[in-house]
């Protein structure tokens, strides 16, 4: 059974603190193993990748077979049914249209001193996307990672996706083709992250690595950050539903289970202002678990990490949600917009009973790569901005330098940076002599 909490109880804060403090990430200490793998890939390159792929994925490769050939991609794409292809095309169209609106604009202006100032946005040159492999891999994640990169203008886009035992998900390769990915490598784990960060004879290094993975992949991303950019360190999935009594308990139960079925470490929380509705949802979850294919995983997640919280009003619900800072937030109330305006920390918000979080995972348009483990307090979901960087621009006229240069010189002197100050003073002296 999940935890049942009520803000009316005197010990609520203690129970809520325990809920917030639960450590659901992988507890296994993998950092030393990952460090050794990264060092080995840096030293031996392709040979290390081939050895690790044989050991962990039971797949014998050569340098020339690390990547899928065009003919292989053609073969697997042809296996996808017309219905699945149409669904991927629809998802890609909507994701692309949404992210095109995120493109930032260059700016340039002349200020009161006559200085030209501005900024310019440019994409990273190359990005590598990590995709978990085998039949459990997710083509939707390919679209969510690759399309924002292509919209941003990334010139070279590659994927690493392990194929344990040689098992390939054709939908992943079709999604990669639809999204405009250049190359798909059949490698995974920390070794794939190392290859993307440092490069090998076959795999050219990239500038940015995105995409979810297991504890080894997460540890590798932490270690290579600085050499390359990364999106985030993804933790177990989360959903928080704020719902009043005028909802279908079964709908809410299914929404909670939609995240619980991902992983035993996932977390599903219901906040409601009606205790009877909370009990009805818990009963509906129990009933659905009887028939759910992934009931063992979802049941463990619900029992270990799930919670039903009863509040006195929806303002209290919004305040608690902000403290949780959930990855996914559904607001199923009579006036979801009013509750939404009180939300300051959430990865993604889904408004109204007709907007299940699962729509956002596939065809809604916004990205489903979102901050977890309360990191929505300070970070955002994946988007175009993850694949571009801002370069500032400045041009001084003699008049502008005369107006602001003395202040720069004075600040440089205050910081004991003599050459800084002299570089400005030399120009000011020429101006004072009337020699331009």
- Catalytic positions, written as ranges: 327-328
In this prediction, residues 238-250 reach a mean pLDDT of 98
Which is the CATH superfamily of the domain at 3-22+235-378? Nitrogenase molybdenum iron protein domain (3.40.50.1980)
Q: Quick one: pLDDT band at residue 1, thresholds 50, 70, 90? A: confident
User: How much is the pLDDT for 229?
Assistant: 98
* Alpha carbon distance 44, 41 (integer Å): 5
Q: Residue 134 has what pLDDT?
A: 64
Average pLDDT value for residue range 251-280: 97
CATH architecture of 45-112+122-230: 3-Layer(aba) Sandwich (3.40)
Over residues 235-248, the mean pLDDT reads 96
Is 415 exposed, middle or buried, given 0-12, 13-18 or 19+ CB atoms closer than 10 A? exposed
Q: What is the pLDDT of residues 74-122, one digit of tens each?
A: 999 999 999 999 999 999 999 999 999 999 999 999 999 999 999 999 9
307 bridge partner residues: 3, 269
**pLDDT surpasses 80 at 157:** yes
Global pTM value: 0.94
Tokens 């949802």 appear where? 281
pLDDT at 133: 82
* pLDDT value of position 27: 53
Label residue 25 by pLDDT band (50, 70, 90): low
In the structure, what pLDDT confidence band is assigned to residue 24 with cuts at 50, 70 and 90?
A: low
Give alpha helix (H) positions in 109-248: 139-152, 170-179, 189-198, 215-224
pLDDT at 314 over 70: yes
pLDDT tens, residue by residue, 371-390: 999 999 999 999 999 999 99
The residue count for the chain: 436
pLDDT range class, residue 410, cuts 50, 70, 90 = very high
Residue 71: pLDDT over 70: yes
Q: Does residue 35 contact residue 181 with C-beta atoms inside 8 Å? A: no
User: What pLDDT, on a 0 to 100 scale, did the predictor assign at position 434?
Assistant: 81
Q: Which residue has the tokens 């050219």?
A: 204
On average, the pLDDT of the chain sits at: 96
- What's the confidence (pLDDT) of residue 435? 65
For residue 11, pLDDT over 70 is answered with yes
Residue 26: pLDDT above 60? no
Domain with CATH 3.40.50.1980 in the chain: 3-22+235-378, 45-112+122-230
Per-residue pLDDT at 22:
82
Q: For 233, phi and psi rounded to 5 degrees?
A: -100, 105
Task: Tell me how many degrees the CA angle 290-293-294 measures, rounded to the nearest 5.
Answer: 95
Mean pLDDT of 146-158: 98
b (16+ CB within 10 A) / e for 81-120: eeeeeebbeebbebbbebbeebeeeeeeeeeeebbebeee
Q: What mean pLDDT do residues 292-304 have?
A: 96
């Amino acid at each position: 059974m999940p935890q049942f909490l009520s803000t009316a109880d005197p010990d609520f804060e203690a129970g809520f603190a325990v809920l917030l403090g639960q450590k659901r990430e992988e507890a296994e200490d993998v950092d030393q193993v990952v460090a050794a793998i990264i060092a080995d890939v840096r030293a031996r390159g392709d040979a290390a990748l081939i050895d690790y792929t044989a050991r962990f994925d039971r797949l014998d490769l050569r340098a020339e077979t690390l990547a899928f050939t065009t003919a292989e991609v053609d073969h697997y794409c042809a296996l996808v049914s017309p219905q699945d292809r149409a669904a991927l095309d629809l998802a890609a169209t909507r994701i692309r249209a949404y992210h095109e609106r995120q493109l930032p604009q260059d700016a340039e202006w002349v200020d009161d001193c006559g200085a030209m100032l501005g900024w310019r946005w440019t994409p990273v040159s190359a990005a590598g996307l990590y995709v978990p492999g085998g039949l459990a891999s997710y083509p939707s994640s390919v679209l969510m990672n690759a399309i924002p990169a292509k919209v941003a203008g990334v010139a070279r886009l590659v994927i690493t996706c392990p194929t344990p035992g040689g098992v390939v998900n054709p939908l992943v390769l079709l999604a990669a083709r639809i999204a405009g990915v250049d190359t798909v490598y059949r490698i995974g784990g920390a070794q794939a992250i190392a290859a993307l960060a440092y490069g090998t004879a076959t795999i050219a290094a990239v500038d940015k690595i995105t995409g979810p993975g297991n504890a080894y992949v997460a540890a590798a991303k932490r270690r290579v950050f600085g050499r390359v950019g990364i999106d985030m360190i993804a933790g177990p999935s989360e959903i928080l539903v704020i719902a009043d009594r005028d909802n279908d308990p079964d709908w809410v139960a299914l929404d909670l289970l939609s995240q619980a079925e991902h992983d035993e470490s996932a977390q599903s929380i219901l906040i409601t202002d009606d205790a009877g509705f909370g009990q009805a949802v818990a009963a509906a979850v129990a009933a659905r678990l009887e028939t759910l294919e992934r009931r063992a995983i979802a049941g463990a997640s619900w029992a270990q990490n799930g919670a039903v919280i009863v509040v006195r009003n929806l303002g209290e619900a919004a305040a608690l949600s902000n403290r949780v800072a959930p990855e996914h937030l559904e607001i199923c109330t009579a006036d979801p917009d009013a509750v939404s305006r009180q939300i300051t920390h959430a990865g993604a918000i889904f408004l109204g009973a007709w907007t299940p979080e699962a729509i956002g995972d596939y065809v809604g348009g916004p990205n489903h790569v979102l901050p977890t483990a309360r990191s929505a307090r300070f970070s955002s979901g994946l988007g175009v901005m993850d694949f571009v960087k801002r370069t500032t621009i400045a041009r001084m006229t003699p008049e502008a330098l005369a107006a602001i240069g003395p202040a720069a010189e004075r600040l440089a002197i205050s910081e004991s940076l003599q050459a800084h100050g002299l570089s400005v003073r030399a120009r000011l002296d020429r101006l004072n002599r009337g020699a331009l």
